[in-house]
Amino acid sequence: MQLKKGSKVKFLNDVGGGRVIEIINAKMVKIETFDGFDMPCLIDDLILIEEDASSYNSSSSSNAVKKSSNSNQHQPIAETVPVQKHGDQQLFNCIGGPKDPAGDKIDVILALSPADPVHPTDKAIDLYLINDGNYRALYVISKNGNANMVPIAAGLLEPDTKLRLGEIPQNELPLGLNFNVQLIFFKNSEFALKPVEQFNVSVSAIKLLRPGAYIENDFFDEKAMILLLAGNKIEQETPNPMMIKDAMLTPKPADRSTKPVKSTPALEEIDLHIEELIDSHANLSAGEILEIQLARFTTVLDGAIKHKTSNVVFIHGVGNGKLKFEVHKLLDTKYKHVKYQDASFKEYGYGATLVIVK
């Protein structure tokens, strides 16, 4: 079987299909599914339905590109590829090509690139995976479904590249985003072994709405939301009671994945979403998460009262209202001497409380 750009295919072991938009190598192609997502696939996992290259636009923006380039141009490759097999198994050569760069840098980023950063949720948002390190990465990205995970993309991401995974439909944005990313790092020459990484990434609906969450960066001409997944300084651990205690008392250090806290002598803004407080919360119960959030709330408010900060905005989100209820309960009991009200609806919706300290 030979595939061309524009070939219509269906999945051998799953429902659905799409059209070929790129020939990756002799064993793999990239297809655009009928649902609108771009994904790499093994040729042996596809069934050719029809050839229709002339009627399909194969200049998709989902091609992997060098991050330092401002265009989507890539090296020309053969328009058709034969399936290569060794016995009954297909050869998947993920260590070919030029020798990978020297160095021990691990830096993988998930990025959200809106069409209009000022009104980010007015249209669908493009989802990118970026490898800014020296290692290759095999990746699997999925999102939360009703009961299980729903696959988005899987494949190989070479060093110093960015890959458009597809777009997030506008109607999914008000629900917030929840992704799972799995990564295996290696090189096509001798390399230091790196641990397999897994990340649960959550972006609240409020953060998606806020233009300030989209920042200037090295990867796009426009502002984008940059979420650091894996880096040499990242260590994923299973939380234990001591870690929870430390998280209660110590603010999370700012990194590339969060919006810097806005602070002036008269106003402080604190985001109480758990992903803004600790790096990993996959193994925490709902009660432990709430305990960390309330500990952060009381620590900040006690400091604001001590240093006579005029106003503090606590972003708690809407959700099921549990965090907001507990915050207001503390304000009505422990902090009776301070006033509070709903923060600006225009900026935060119903998801924040303004505390007036003095």
The model's pLDDT over 126-155, given as tens digits with 9 standing for 90+, comes to 999 999 999 999 999 998 877 888 899 999
Question: 3-state class of 48 per DSSP?
Answer: strand
- Is 131 domain-assigned? yes
Closest CA to 83 of 33, 23, 32, 31: 23
pLDDT at 91: 41
The CA distance from 57 to 189, in Å, is 37
Question: 3-state class of 173 per DSSP?
Answer: helix
Q: Which domain holds residue 352?
A: 241-356
pLDDT at 284: 80
Last residue of a domain, one of 211, 231, 251: 231
258 shares its domain with 185: no
The CA distance from 335 to 325, in Å, is 14
Strand 311-315 and strand 267-271: the pairing is: parallel
Closest CA to 207 of 176, 235, 184, 178: 176
Residue partners of 24: CB distance under 8 A and separation at least 6:
30, 40, 77, 155
The CA distance from 219 to 337, in Å, is 48
User: Global pTM?
Assistant: 0.45
Judge contact between 228 and 257, C-beta under 8 A. yes
Q: How many domains does the chain have?
A: 3
CATH code, domain with 168: 2.60.40.1600
Last residue of a domain, one of 231, 252, 272: 231
- Is 100 domain-assigned? no
Alpha-carbon distances, residue 141 vs 108, 151, 154, 230 (angstroms):
13, 6, 6, 14
Q: Return the H-helix or E-strand segment holding 128.
A: strand 125-131
Report whether pLDDT(235) > 50: no
pLDDT digits (tens, 9 = 90+) for 67-123: 544 434 333 333 333 443 434 444 456 777 788 888 888 889 999 999 888 888 888
pLDDT grade for 319, boundaries at 50, 70 and 90:
low
CATH code, domain with 300: 3.30.1370.110
210 shares its domain with 298: no
pLDDT digits (tens, 9 = 90+) for 260-313: 444 444 567 888 888 888 877 777 888 888 888 888 888 888 878 877 766 888
